Amino acid sequence: MRQGPTNLYDLTRPALEEWLERREFNRVHAARIWNYLYYTGVRTIEEMTEISPRLRDRLAAEAHLPRLGVVHETHSSDGFTRKYLMGLHDAHRIETVLMKFTGRVTACVSSQVGCAMGCVFCATGQMGYTRHLSAGEIVAQVMHVRDTVRELAAASANPAGEDKLRNIVLMGMGEPLHNYDAVMDAIDIMRDPGGLALGAKKITLSTVGVVPGIIRFADEARPVHLAVSLHAATQEERAALVPTAKRWPLDQLMEACRYFVQKLGRRIFFEWTLIDGKNDSPEQAHAVGRLLQGIPAQVNLIPLNPTIGYDGAPTRSEAARKFQDVLAEYGLPSTVRQRRGIDIAAGCGQLAVSAATM
């Protein structure tokens, strides 16, 4: 069977070296190609002018660099957030978000088309699962944000301004640990010092709690941050919000978290979507405090972004503050995520089902 062209954005650096060797080119050429791909940011193979014509022809014949087209773009009224609806080659769509806070740009990227985990309050969960993204489709989202940031910096009065893509959060559509291999390849590509050179500590992977994935992630010891979406501190309450909790119950999840901490000696971020009257009482905050005892942790509280498929309201700020006070009694630092960009429903991890209907 004849294979289609290789998507160069799918290849980690060792994979690119192997690709070259299989075609009897020296692996040293990988460095220059890599530089073109991720440092210069070329859009076509023809722009790789400083590699030999023989290699360039071979690349042109057997590989390509498919970027994702922007199908729709929305900017929040506060100017801090841009949401992109990106078209994939098979006409599916995903969302990527650019968030900009005083010189710090964060890209929120998707890992799947839809999601199989079915969290009841999540717009992506309500869509169901369509397919995994390839590493190249994840990397292409990052490249799009990086290019946008470069263009904005070049167009601004202060081109030397500190706007730079520095942070990546895997909190867009999909469950990253359900698409483990492609996500890890994408992370390795983003971290490569000869290209995008994103610091591992600037990358955060958020999971709903895929226990075998957390264990493998701990064993492989990539120094990327881990965020675990908790939302409830008892198995029963959690299973009502996060159906996959039935498959990977809370006690197993906490065991995996302890394993991660033991192995890597790093803290874990726990995410908690605050839903009015559902999981925002002081008693529930006490239960979180008890549950996380002994785990170096930070709790990120996210006021619910209402979605069409779920009848719930965000916690009022007073209750959120009280929740934080209780967590502090247990020595747990916490943040309440600012609802920036809410007017375009571009809050990270809160991407709208409307994407499917646009």
Q: Distance between CA 79 and CA 325 in Å, rounded?
A: 31
Instruction: Kindly identify the residues of this chain, within the stretch 94-133, that bind ligand SAH according to CB under 6 A.
Output: 119, 121-122
Angle between helices 250-264 and 211-220 (to 10 degrees): 0
Tell me the pairing of strands 129-132 and 81-87: unpaired
The interface partner of residue 105, options being ligand SF4, ligand SAH, none and the CB cut-off 5 to 8 Å by kind, is none
130, 179, 305, 315: residue in contact with ligand SAH (rule CB under 6 A): 305
Determine whether 236 is an active site residue: no
Stretch that binds ligand SF4, among 2-10, 113-121, 151-159, 192-200 (CB under 6 A): 113-121
Positive/negative CA dihedral, 237, 238, 239, 243: positive
Q: Is 100 or 132 the residue whose CB approaches ligand SF4 more closely?
A: 132
Q: Report the alpha-carbon distance of residue 315 to residue 273 in Å, rounded.
A: 9
Q: Identify whether 115 is a catalytic site residue.
A: no
Closer residue to ligand SF4 (CB): 25 or 121: 121
User: Nearer Cβ to ligand SAH, position 171 or 245?
Assistant: 171
H-state helical runs in the chain: 13-22, 29-34, 53-62, 123-127, 135-155, 180-191, 211-220, 235-241, 250-264, 282-291, 317-329, 354-357
Q: Which is nearer to ligand SF4, 195 or 347 (CB)?
A: 347
Using CA atoms in the order 100, 101, 102, 105, what is the torsion angle rounded to 10 degrees? Answer: -40
From 20, 48, 68, 117, residue interacting with ligand SF4 (rule: CB under 6 A): 117
Secondary structure (3-state) at 113: strand
Cα–Cα dist 117/109, whole Å: 17
| Position 304 contacts ligand SAH (CB under 6 A) | yes
Task: Answer with the entry of ligand SAH, ligand SF4, none that 350 interacts with (C-beta below 5 to 8 A by kind).
Answer: ligand SAH
Give the residues lining the site for ligand SAH (CB under 6 A): 119, 121-122, 171, 175, 206-208, 229, 271, 273, 302, 304-305, 307, 349-350
Give the residues lining the site for ligand SF4 (CB under 6 A): 115, 117-119, 122, 124-125, 174-175, 208, 229
Report the catalytic residues. 95, 348
